[in-house]
Structure 1
Amino acid sequence: MLKLLLVAGVVAGVVYAVFWALERRQAAGRAQRQHPSARRPRPRPSRMVAPDDDEDFLRDLDRRRREKDEPG
């Protein structure tokens, strides 16, 4: 009798785990259909360029330095 209860408990646990996993999978699919933006990654905001990486800034610094160093 104890073996029968043990087997029934194990079978019930396996059936519960299978149905739980299926329900979670279906719930995740419903959530994605309700929020289509959740499937697409959002565009990353443009990041600020450091002054030493900005070619225009460096070019302007060189121009100012040359104008300062030129005589007259």
Structure 2
Amino acid sequence: MIVYGQVKGEIKAEIEHYAKTQYQKGLLHGSLWGIGVGLLISMIAVRRVRCGFSRWVVARGALANSE
């Protein structure tokens, strides 16, 4: 004989388990996206410094203003 409370408890446990796993998946995907975007921004910043891009822009602006 199945008791109503037992079935209700099993369904509640399944819902809680599903919600927990979905939350963990979302947390993992969000963390990975954050790390990936952070690395991309860091790589762009390092490249700009190595190439002297920001100094070139400043120097070019100074030359344009002096003419």
Pairwise TM-score range, normalised by the shorter structure = 0.5 to 0.7
% identical equivalent positions: 3
Of the three residues 6, 10, 13, the one matched with 2:9 is: 6
Of the three residues 20, 29, 32, the one matched with 1:29 is: 32
CA distance in 1 between partners of 2:18 and 2:35 (Å)? 26
CA distance in 1 between partners of 2:38 and 2:13 (Å)? 38
Offset at 1:21? 0.4
CA distance in 2 between partners of 1:23 and 1:5 (Å)? 27
Q: Give 4+ residue runs of structure 1 displaced > 3 Å after superposition.
A: none
Aligned to 2:60: none
Structure 2 unpaired stretches of 5+: 43-67
CA distance in 1 between partners of 2:27 and 2:20 (Å)? 11
Structure 1 unpaired stretches of 5+: 38-72
TM-score of the two chains, using structure 2 as the length reference = 0.52
Aligned to 2:45: none
Which structure features the higher share of helix residues?
2
Offset at 1:14? 0.5
